Amino acid sequence: MKFTWFHLMPWPHMPDDFRQKHRSVWVDLPSRMYEPELGHGIYHQYLDQLEFAESVGFDGIGVNEHHANAYGLMPSPNIMAATLTRRTSKAALVVLGNSIALYNPPIRVAEELAMLDVLSGGRLIAGFPVGTSMDTNYAYGTIPALTREKYAEAHDLIRKAWAADEPFAFNGRYTKLRYVNCWPKPIQRPAPPIFIPGGGSVETYDFCIDNTYSYSYLSYSGYLRAKLLMGGYWKRVAERKVDESPYRAGFAQVICVADTDAEAEKLYWPHVSYFYNRCLHVYPGFADAPGYRTVKTIQTGALSQFTQAAVRNYPSMTWKDLLDGRYVIAGSPETVRQQMEELIKTLRVGNVFCLLHVGNMPDDKVRHSTRLFAEKVMPHLRNLWPDWNNHDDRFWTHPMNERVPMKVAAE
Amino acid sequence: MKSRFLTLKPSKTRIEVVEAGKGRDLFYLHGAGGHMPGDPLIAALATKYRVVAPLLPGYGQSNGEDGLRDMLDVTLHTLDVLEALKLSKPVVVGHSMGGMIAAEMAAIAHTEITRLCLLAPAGLWLDDHPVTDIFSKLPYELPGLLFHDAEAGQKLLTTGGNMEDPEFLKQFLVMNARRLGMAGKILFPIPDRGLAQRLHRITAKTLVVWGREDVLIPPVYGDAFKKAISKSKLVRIAKAGHAVGQEKPAAVLRAIRDFF
């Protein structure tokens, strides 16, 4: 198993009456709510937490990309990952965004990810999300019905740019470059491992299978509700007659660990509530721009994460509801271990993106929960895929052997 | 009103064409919402004209939307449809997005289109008077955006289903993805594809019609269109919103009859 400690980096100072005062945490939330001088400390605290996660043994540390929102403050995940390259030495840097349809020209993504791979000595895992509709369409203006075609073309360009040793011309519909010449190039050849965040579209299943990319379902509704979608993926894997390595798939889970189940509620409920009721408070009109998802995908009945959030009545859900429905895995190390094992086995995932910072959780609680997970849960989950030797070379990093010594903060 | 089908060559795109009435040919292009059920404007126009109203790919039973990506694609496609219909010197009428397409057609093919009627057309952008973002609107918001009398408008639209019913939600999302997905190629995120630089090429005798209570594209845009098109007249219709033709069909018919 591979465990990635994933940060969303939310704004932790949304007021108690946030839902009443604002229709959406995304797209049109006035930025006057953001206080830059508070933001300074928050960014550094969040980065410290990612570094701490490496020091307690997580395999990966993760960042992502979002725009115009208080849900996640990383418009540029590459800047965050760049700081981590110099202060960590072991963990994979899981950059689960660049939203490649947004960059003009997308060669910029090939260059920056190559920079990160070189800086980190080959520790980069690249993620290529389409991006949420709020980000891609409303905040960045991409035409919804053309988003996927633009994405596919950007992907094609990036892979070719990494693979080529000579300049070449790229005559795309959206990008025309007479000289594609990617300096630097990534250490990992022909490319870093690539994870694709997916939300149930059949096209994405095939895209992952065709390219040997790991399919990552980033859900906040827990593993019980994810079974249908992941089942669809594994069915497709079987139909395509490729191997069923669990490392072909990953899942994101909100996790809170305490000494006892009762203690978990006491420590973490306010922050879990903050996350579900403020961070996920998206105006339904922004959740799914018409044309953003294909008709075929809509017909499968899979709703986007944020349409689900809009349809579900999170404010009415109690701690018990969220736990019973396994939206959140929380409790003593033994409770968490049992449920994590069930998650990993039922979804058949080799990667778990652990969301251990939740909402407006203060630093001491984040570290407490993280340490308990690393010391008392993770070791018991390491050996769940013995048939695969608990590792699949195709879906994890290949760091270079002799990296320059650095004075690393986490050591 | 009846539908027939037209197949374009060489793309094999199949276009649904609604036809109604007798008289002089009138070519009608719908807005981003498509035709309304028993469309009151088409019904009114059909009392005096032979109305020929093709549906854009992505709307109704018209297909071929994947092959249309930008304004030029849509304009040329619609000119192809017009040519294939073999109409005799038609009055070309377009509402909202359809008005934008009609204006582009008249700017590009200015020797072919000689009578043009733009009903609250899209296509321009004034910083001080932003056009409403229709893409982020929820179904219940539409009657108030399209009609001065929202209650009457609600009855004309068929969007009054229950969004909490998963089957209705799915059907709505599919229809919306097709229609507004297509519309987004020329309207998202800002409905401006450079028409302002081409309006001067229009030589058609042009009637611009605006509802005085239009909250989607404010009436001030009517003045901008009138100013930019040389042989044009602007008619404002009282107590009408953006769906001016559907809300005041008789008044719009009269304006068209008086002008052409």
Instruction: Evaluate if residue A278 carries a pLDDT over 90.
Output: yes
Q: What is the band of A83 on the pLDDT scale with cuts at 50, 70, 90?
A: very high
Supply the pLDDT for residue A302.
59
What's the rounded mean pLDDT across residues A60-66? 97
Supply the pLDDT for residue A294.
85
Q: Running DSSP on this structure, what letter comes out for residue A26?
A: B
DSSP string covering A81-114: HHHHHHH-SSSEEEE----GGG-SSTHHHHHHHH
**Cβ separation of A290 and B184 shorter than 8 Å?**
yes
Supply the pLDDT for residue A35.
98
Q: Collapse the DSSP code of B108 into the 3-class scheme (helix H, G, I; strand E, B; otherwise coil) and give the result.
A: helix
**Cβ separation of A291 and B180 shorter than 8 Å?**
yes
Q: What is the pLDDT of residues A143-199, one digit of tens each?
A: 999 999 999 999 999 999 999 999 999 999 999 999 999 999 999 999 999 999 987
A259: exposed, middle or buried (C-beta count within 10 Å: 0-12, 13-18, 19+)? middle
Supply the pLDDT for residue A368.
98
Instruction: Tell me which of A406 and A85 has the higher pLDDT.
Output: A85
**Cβ separation of A294 and B173 shorter than 8 Å?**
no
Supply the pLDDT for residue B176.
81
Cis peptide before A184 (omega within 30 of 0): yes
Supply the pLDDT for residue A408.
59
Q: What is the pLDDT of residues A366-410, one digit of tens each?
A: 999 999 999 999 999 999 999 998 899 999 999 998 888 776 565
Whether residue B107 contacts residue B78, with contact meaning beta carbons closer than 8 Å, is answered with: no
Closest CA to B203 of B121, B86, B109: B109
Provide the residue type at A59 as one letter.
Answer: D
| Cα–Cα distance measured from residue B245 to residue B26, given in angstroms and rounded to the nearest whole number | 14
Q: Collapse the DSSP code of B54 into the 3-class scheme (helix H, G, I; strand E, B; otherwise coil) and give the result.
A: strand
Whether B181 has its CB under 8 Å from any CB of chain A: the answer is yes
Tokens of A373: 């997970």
| Cα–Cα distance measured from residue A272 to residue A279, given in angstroms and rounded to the nearest whole number | 10
Supply the pLDDT for residue A296.
81
| Cα–Cα distance measured from residue B92 to residue B36, given in angstroms and rounded to the nearest whole number | 19
Pick from B63, B74, B136 the residue to mutate for testing the A interface (most A CBs within 10 Å).
Answer: B136
Q: What does R_g of chain A's alpha carbons equal in angstroms?
A: 20
Supply the pLDDT for residue B154.
84
Tell me the chain A residues in contact with residue B166 when contact means C-beta distances shorter than 8 Å: 301
Kindly report the nearest CA distance between residue B163 and chain A, in angstroms.
9
**Cβ separation of A298 and B188 shorter than 8 Å?**
no
Closest CA to B133 of B190, B180, B70: B190
Tell me the chain A residues in contact with residue B181 when contact means C-beta distances shorter than 8 Å: 144-145, 290-292
Instruction: Evaluate if residue A121 carries a pLDDT over 80.
Output: yes
ipTM: 0.94
pLDDT mean across residues, chain A: 94
CA nearest to B190 within chain A: A141
Closest CA to B64 of B170, B182, B232: B182
Provide the residue type at A291 as one letter.
Answer: G
Low-confidence ranges of chain B (pLDDT < 70): 158-164
Please give the model's pTM, rounded to 2 decimal places.
0.94
Supply the pLDDT for residue A76.
97
Whether A152 has its CB under 8 Å from any CB of chain B: the answer is no
Tell me the chain A residues in contact with residue B169 when contact means C-beta distances shorter than 8 Å: 311
Q: What is the band of A311 on the pLDDT scale with cuts at 50, 70, 90?
A: low
What's the rounded mean pLDDT across residues A350-379? 98
Interface of B with A in 97-136 (CB under 8 A): 135-136
Q: How far apart are the first and last CA of chain B?
A: 23
Supply the pLDDT for residue A314.
86
Supply the pLDDT for residue A301.
65
Instruction: Evaluate if residue A125 carries a pLDDT over 80.
Output: yes
DSSP string covering A260-271: SHHHHHHHHHHH
CA nearest to B32 within chain A: A290
| Cα–Cα distance measured from residue A46 to residue A238, given in angstroms and rounded to the nearest whole number | 40
Tokens of B208: 């611009």
Task: Tell me which residue has tokens 């946030």.
Answer: A18
What is the share, in percent, of chain A residues with pLDDT greater than 90?
A: 86
Whether B182 has its CB under 8 Å from any CB of chain A: the answer is yes
Closest CA to A157 of A124, A132, A191: A191
Residue A56 parent element (H or E): none
Supply the pLDDT for residue A308.
64
Tell me the chain A residues in contact with residue B179 when contact means C-beta distances shorter than 8 Å: 290
Tell me the chain A residues in contact with residue B69 when contact means C-beta distances shorter than 8 Å: 146, 173
Supply the pLDDT for residue A409.
60
**Cβ separation of A144 and B184 shorter than 8 Å?**
yes
Largest CA distance in chain B: 51
| Cα–Cα distance measured from residue A156 to residue A176, given in angstroms and rounded to the nearest whole number | 13
CA nearest to A302 within chain B: B170
Supply the pLDDT for residue B244.
98
